[in-house]
Amino acid sequence: MSVQRKRILVTGGAGFIGSHLCERLLVDGHEVICMDNYFTGSKSNVIHLLDNPYFELVRHDVTEPYYAEVDQIYNLACPASPIHYQYNAIKTIKTSVMGAINMLGLAKRVKARILQASTSEVYGDPMVHPQFESYWGNVNPIGIRSCYDEGKRCAETLFMDYHRQNNLDVKIIRIFNTYGPRMNKHDGRVVSNFIVQALEGKDITIYGDGSQTRSFQYVDDLVEGMIRMMNSEEGFVGPINIGNPGEFTMLQLAQQILEMTGSSSKIQYLPLPTDDPKQRQPNIELAEKMLDWRPTVELTQGLSNTIEYFKKIIS
């Protein structure tokens, strides 16, 4: 084997992104401990990995301390969709903050390298477009999204403080909207929402007039970026944007999905929720320069894979 086998902990490993990451790390020849409390993730996302002797599934809540001898930690545990993170806002912020403290403590103890899955939400409703990593954001500290946005911002602070104070080997990535197979059917995120509505012949619900834009990256591109960041040169901490700069309006996305599914669903316009950012697009120059990374999967290809997945679980 060309790579040196590492022992890698993935928190939130039974979630959408985590399950793809675990899968890829095993393919790359590593040993993986997948830790999850199954709040939004599920065993079914990793069931195909259970026969692999290098894969270990652990039911554990990241807000409680956890001990394991590992070389690397990917900290993904946290509900990511507004429906789920607002369900128990206090638990969400605890997961981000106490989860970060527990995992940083573990990394310090066993001298592991640790990567934080942060988010473009740290930019809030940005006044700068597209967003560079040096932009500090425009975030409401007391709104209904704050449990997630501020929790993730505080986790970034903790990562930086452990790095400065304890010389911990940390990495921070800011993930922009990601989609792909194994997204939770009920989480209300736009790509899965539109696909499920189209496949079930229900109205496609657009919040606002549909002119707000988002950029969508396919999960395989993200996983490649995460692994490159984790294995980047020591001392390069980030934060680094990992996302696809290709921008689409919600209306364009809905129309594309209607066309690809051949659905006769109609578009229904609903009021825009509070604090919904109007525009979000990553600047990825830093990732291109430092990681030689850029997204490669076209929206049509990614959507086609995702539509196939949802066809299977809906039928």
Measured between alpha carbons, how far is 54 from 35 in angstroms, rounded to an integer? 14
Rounded least distance, CB 252 to ligand NAD, Å? 18
Q: Which of 72, 102, 119, 232 binds ligand NAD (CB under 6 A)?
A: 119
Nearer to ligand NAD, 175 or 204 (CB): 175
Rounded least distance, CB 57 to ligand NAD, Å? 11
Nearer to ligand NAD, 106 or 175 (CB): 175
Residue 30 Rama label (left phi>0; alpha psi -120 to 50; beta)? beta
Stretch that binds ligand NAD, among 23-31, 131-139, 172-180, 302-310 (CB under 6 A): 172-180
Instruction: Indicate whether 172 belongs to the interface with ligand NAD (CB under 6 A).
Output: no
Rounded least distance, CB 315 to ligand NAD, Å? 22
Site for ligand NAD in 1-60 (CB under 6 A): 11-12, 14-18, 36-41
Nearer to ligand NAD, 18 or 82 (CB): 18
Rounded least distance, CB 162 to ligand NAD, Å? 18
Rounded least distance, CB 119 to ligand NAD, Å? 4
- The beta strand positions in the chain, using DSSP E, are 7-11, 31-36, 55-59, 72-75, 113-119, 170-175, 178-179, 204-207, 213-215, 217-218, 240-242, 247-249, 267-270
Q: Which of 46, 107, 114, 117 binds ligand NAD (CB under 6 A)?
A: 117
Stretch that binds ligand NAD, among 173-181, 206-214, 255-263, 282-290 (CB under 6 A): 173-181
Pick from 143, 145, 305, 277: nearest CA to 221: 305
Residues binding ligand NAD: what is the number (CB under 6 A)? 28
Q: Which of 61, 156, 169, 221 binds ligand NAD (CB under 6 A)?
A: 61
Nearer to ligand NAD, 146 or 263 (CB): 146
Measured between alpha carbons, how far is 98 from 48 in angstroms, rounded to an integer? 30
Pick from 129, 220, 224, 106: nearest CA to 173: 224
Instruction: Indicate whether 78 belongs to the interface with ligand NAD (CB under 6 A).
Output: yes
Q: Which residues are the active-site residues?
A: 148
Measured between alpha carbons, how far is 66 from 108 in angstroms, rounded to an integer? 13
Q: Is the peptide bond before 130 cis (omega within 30 degrees of 0)?
A: yes
CB atoms within 10 A of CB 136: 12
Measured between alpha carbons, how far is 66 from 285 in angstroms, rounded to an integer? 36
* Tokens read off for 276: 């919904």
DSSP string computed for 30-59: -EEEEEE--SS--GGGTGGGTT-TTEEEEE
Amino acid at residue number 101: I
Instruction: Indicate whether 239 belongs to the interface with ligand NAD (CB under 6 A).
Output: no
Q: Which residues bind ligand NAD (CB under 6 A)?
A: 11-12, 14-18, 36-41, 61-63, 76-80, 95, 117, 119, 175, 177-178, 184
